[in-house]
Structure formats: structure tokens, C-alpha cells
Structure 1
């Protein structure tokens, strides 16, 4: 509970600056007796004198009063900024939290952090890597200012800016009959055991792509990460499907793994930069830098 009001702090600052109760009372538009009572109340609560008040002599601060004045002025300044929309906008430029979907983070996060910190050295750049659901919740809760993710499970609460559209990749063992193709279609995989991400939205999306074809594929494994998915595929445990496309032709355990692009047009998925639709578009300079760095359009 706060025992001293902002108004009382304003009275203390006014008296300190004016050096006179009478002058300070005029400046804050209150009677001199009321101002004197307010100062006495503050001093009584603090248990120490803020001012030396003697007839015929300007009011002066005590040593304790000087310390208190500095803190009071700082608090009043912060309170004024809370009431000023323009000041709040400037405050937001001091720090930004960038969220990124966990499968996109290995490719995008480090380069984005490097670029943003180079271009905006006075801005504190934070990051949050999360699942679809956790990232969406963080944006709506104001914990993340901007998020880079796939356009899955996002309703009208989110404003989107397109970064790029990507096709899914099929991950296969080196000796798989489909490994030599330049591209394949989902119909080629409909009767093959699949390895999909273990995230609910991702699985629903993938199964939805097959439903368009009237197919219901078998899910052999639900992988916790793209590297687990690639390792399972490289070891012949099924065909992995993912939109993540990490470099390299070896799985994490050193086995050869082949990627073949899935060509179905309806499988194309946008990567988007999103923010909460109930709030003004945040930090246009930083949004523009992210779009430029990722090739957004």
C-alpha cells in the first residue's frame, strides 16, 4: 500500500524548487496552509525532516531531504511518462522481445539478433523460442512484441506480414526408392509410414494436406525435433515430412539422409511476422529490418 500520494510528492518538489511555501502554493494551485499540512504529513510518515523552515529565511532542504527529492523527482518523471502516449512509444523502443517458432529458430534467430543489434544498438533485443501455442499465447499476453512463425492456428487476433512461402521437404534414407527423384508428391507418400512433428497443430496440418487427396496416411513416429525426424528417416524408420529445411546431408547420428521437395501446390505454407492485432503495429523500424533480413514482402 502506498501511504504517500503523487500529489504530495509534487508538493515536496515544488517547495524544494521554489524555496518558499507561499510561492510553491501558488505554483501548484493550493493554499499555503494546505501545502504546509501536506509537507508536515510527509515528514511525519517518513520520520525525518525534509525542510528547514524558519521565518524570514528561504526554505532549505535537509541532507535527508536532498536524497528524498532526487527519488521523488525520478518517480514523478516516470509517472508522467505513464500518462503520455508519446513517451510510452519511446519507452517501447528501448526493448523488444522477438518470438520465433522453435523449428525456425536454428535458421533465423541468430542472424536476426545479429542484424537487429547492429542496426539498433540502443535497443535491448530479447528472444523467446517456443511452440506454436506458447508463442501465440505470448503474443496475445504482450510478452512477445513480434513473432516469426508459420501461419498455423492464428486467428483474427493476429496481424500478419508475409515473409516467404515454403514447400515441405520429404526426408528419406539413402536407399529409399524415392530418394533419387527431383521432387515427389504427397500421393507418392500416402501408403508409406510417416515421421511427423509431435506438435498437434503441425500433425493436424499435415493430415489435412493428405485429406485433400482423400488419403489417411500412417504415422510411424512423432518426432520432438527436426533432427530426431531426420535421424529416424535416415535409419529407415519411415519418411519424414517437415517445412524446416536444415543444411547438410547427414543426420545428427552421421547417417546419410536425402531431402526431396514435395511439389503439391496446396502444401505451400507461409512464414509470417505477426503481432497482436489489438495493439498498434509495434516498432516499424525494427519490423522493417526483420522483413528486409528475411526477404519478407
Structure 2
């Protein structure tokens, strides 16, 4: 609980600058007795004298009063800035939070962060790696300014801009008969044991792709991460399918691994940069800088 009000701080600052209770009372448009009572209340709460008040001489600050005055002026200046919407916007835009879907983060986050910090050295850029559901809640709530994610589970309140269009990859053991192919169709995978992500939106989307073509897929494993999926595939547990396409042909456990793109055009999935609400100029510039990084794009991903 705050026991000293901003108004009381204004009175203390006015007396310190005027050197007179009477003059200070005129400046802040309050009666001299009321001003005197307010200053006394502050001193009583602090248990220390702020001023030396003697008849016939100007009111003078004590040593403690000088220290208190500096803090009071700083606090009042901050309060004044809080009342200025323009100042609040400028301070807010000096710091942004970039959200990124957790499967995309290993590929995109560090390069994006490096490029943005080079382009906007005066902006504090925070990052948050999260699930689909968390991003979908945090962006409208203002906890995340911009988010890079797949276009899954987002309603019409989100503003989207295409970052990249990615092709799903089939992950297989090198001795799998399909491993040497240039591409594979969903129909060829429907009868194989599949390893899919255990993310709710992700697995529903993938199953929907098969079912839209009248196919009934066989799900052997639901993997908690792309690397778990790749390890299971490398060890012959089935065919992994993911949009995330990390570099390298060896799983975390050191097993060789093959990847083959899935050819179905309708299986391609957009990665989008999303936000909600108006975009003031600095954020719009940062958004444009993020989108510009998609021109080259990480290895294995095609820009849209």
C-alpha cells in the first residue's frame, strides 16, 4: 500500500523549489495551511524532517530532504510519462517480444535474432519459444508482438503474412525401399507405420491430409519432438513425417537417416508471421525485416 501520494510529492517538490510555503501554495493552487499539513504528513510517515522551517528565513531542505527530493522528482517525471500515450508507445516499442513455434525455433530463431539485432540495435528483442496453443493465446493478449508459426488453429482475428511455404519430409531408415526415391506420395505412405508429432493441431492436420484423399493412415508412434521422430525412423520404427526439416542425415543417437520430400501439392504448409491489432511504424519495420529474411530462407525450406 502506498502511503505517500503523488500530490503530496508535488507539494514537497514545490516547497523545495520555491523556498517558501506561501509561494509554493500559490504555485500548486492550494491553501498554505493545507500545503503545510501535507508536508508534515510526509515527514511524519518518513520519520525524518525534509525541511528546516523557521520564521523570517526561507524554507531549506535537510540533508535527508535533498536525497528525498531527487527521488520524488524522478518518480513524478515517470508518472508524467505514464500519462503521455505517445511516450508510453515509444517506450513500449523499444522492446518487442518475438514468439516462435517450438519446432521452428532450432532452424529460424538464432538467424532471425542476429539479423534483427543488427538492423535494430536500439530495440530490446525478447524471444519466446512456445506451442501452437500458447502462441495463439499470447499474441492477442499482447504478451507477444509478432509470432512465426504454422498457419494452424488461428482464427480470423490474426493478421497473417506468408514467410515460407514448406514441403513435408518423410524420414526413413537408409535401407527402406523408399529411401532412394526423389519424392513420395501420401498414398504410398498410407499403408506404412507412421511416426507423427504428438502436438494436437499438428497430428490432426497430418491425419486430415490423408483422410481428405480417402486414405486411412496407420500411426505407430506419436513423437514428442522432431529429433525423437528422426531417431525412431532411423531405427526402423516407421516413417516419420514432419514439416520441420533439420539439416544433417544422422539422428541424435548416431544412426544414418534418409529424407524424401512428399510430393502432394496440397500437403505444402505455409509458415506465417502473425500479429493482432495495428502495427505502429517501428513494429511494422521489424515485421518487414523478419519477412525479408525469408527471401533466402534456411536450407530445405522454400520461401513463399
Structure 2 length-normalised TM? 0.91
CA shift at 1:169, angstroms?
Answer: 1.0
Bigger drift between 234-243 and 179-188 goes to: 179-188
Q: Which runs of 5+ in 1 are unaligned?
A: none
Runs of 4+ in 1 over 4 A off after TM superposition: none
Residues of 2 paired with 1:32 and 1:20: CA distance?
Answer: 10
Gaps spanning 5+ residues in structure 2: where?
296-302
1:50-100 per-residue CA deviation (whole Å, 9 max, x = no partner) reads: 112223322221111111111111211222222211111111133222211
The answer to whether structure 1 residue 204 and structure 2 residue 204 are counterparts is: yes
2:60 is the counterpart of 1:60? yes
Residue 279 of structure 2, aligned match among 255, 278, 281: 281
Residue 79 (structure 2) aligns with:
79
Q: Distance in 2 between matches of 1:157 and 1:69?
A: 48
Give the distance between the partners of 1:166 and 1:114, measured in 2 at CA.
23
Separation (CA, whole Å) in 2 of partners of 1:14 and 1:148: 51
Report the more deviating stretch, 164-173 or 53-62: 53-62
Question: For 1:127, what is the secondary structure of its paired residue?
Answer: strand
> What's the counterpart of residue 147 of structure 1?
147
Shift of 1:138: 2.7
Cα separation, 1, equivalents of 2:104 and 2:215: 28
Distance apart, 1:162 and its partner CA? 1.7
Q: Match for residue 171 of structure 1?
A: 171
Q: With the length of structure 1 as denominator, give the TM-score of the two structures.
A: 0.93
Please give the root-mean-square deviation of Cα atoms over the aligned residues, in Å: 1.8
Aligned length: 295
Inter-CA distance 137–174: structure 2 relative to 1 (3 Å threshold) = same
Q: Secondary structure at the match of 1:43?
A: helix
1:99 is aligned to 99
User: How far did residue 187 of structure 1 move?
Assistant: 1.4
Q: Distance in 2 between matches of 1:274 and 1:27?
A: 51
Partner of 1:11: 11
